[in-house]
Amino acid sequence: MITATYIDHMGSDLSVVNAARVSFGKKREALGTVTANGETSIVLHDTDQKLIKYLAKHKHMSPFGHCFASFHIKAPVFVARQLVKHKFLRWNEISRRYVDDEPEFYEPDKWRGRSADKKQGSDGVVSNINIGNITLTAKVLYNSLIERGVCPEQARMVLPQSTMTEWYWSGSLDAFSDMCNLRCKPDTQAETRLVADIIAGRMIHLFPESWEALTDG
């Protein structure tokens, strides 16, 4: 199962406002707070909401860099290898050089067909696919190598890309918005989009004004 678990965050929409206003020696306070669905967020002055929109529209990104969030992601290797490309997000992943726990494998609820008009992507559904024997063989082979004394850093080479991995993923508000603007698009890989959608769903509650201004939707 692919998961993206919120860990913690620093800052708020007000942090963005004050990071921008410090250029003029100014500081603003929030009007108050509001709680909805168990989430508490601050209420900004109208002028501060407009300031955030202005910053995002004109690509004045540095004020957004003062807000951070961290997530714990669990996903198959083929998803991780796509998401690790976002270099401005900090990444610490479990290492099978050190860990030799029995591997866990991802299998989708449905198998998508190959897109007819694109070199990548998918279209439709392919039925009667079962990879259970393949993953079982990989698991047995891996465990056999470990039991025979092979070092984990070599034994891992027999594991397929469906092997589950996990990592801590942290970064600034603008870095996560860049990632989600790319990975939440309908034409991205579904498994990768799932991670981005979960993160986006949390970030909109943590930084509602900024996230709306920074993202495509």
Whether residue 96 is contained in a domain is answered as no
Predicted pLDDT at 42: 84
Strands 32-36 and 90-93, sheet pairing = unpaired
The answer to whether position 82 is within a domain reads no
Please tell me which residue, 216 or 72, carries the higher pLDDT value: 72
Give per-residue burial for 138-150: e unless 16+ CB within 10 Å, then b: bbeebeebbeeeb
Q: Give the neighbor-by-neighbor strand order of the sheet with 164-172.
A: 3-10, 68-76, 164-172, 90-93
Mean pLDDT of 34-60: 88
In a domain, 118, yes or no: no
Catalytic residue, from 96, 156, 183, 193: name it. Answer: 183
* Mean pLDDT of the region 15-39: 86
Could you read off the pLDDT of 139-184 as tens digits, one per residue?
Answer: 999 999 999 999 999 999 999 999 999 999 999 999 999 999 999 9
User: Has 148 been annotated as catalytic?
Assistant: no
CB 63 within 8 A of CB 23: no
Asked if the structure places residue 205 within a domain, the reply is yes
Please give the residue range of the domain that contains residue 36: 8-71+167-214
Within a domain: 66: yes
pLDDT at 131: 84
Which CATH number is 188's domain given? 3.30.1360.170
pLDDT (tens digit per residue) in 110-130 = 998 988 777 777 888 898 888
Q: Domain total for the chain?
A: 1
Cα–Cα distance measured from residue 85 to residue 31, given in angstroms and rounded to the nearest whole number? 39
**107 within domain boundaries:** no
| Confidence (pLDDT) at 185 | 94
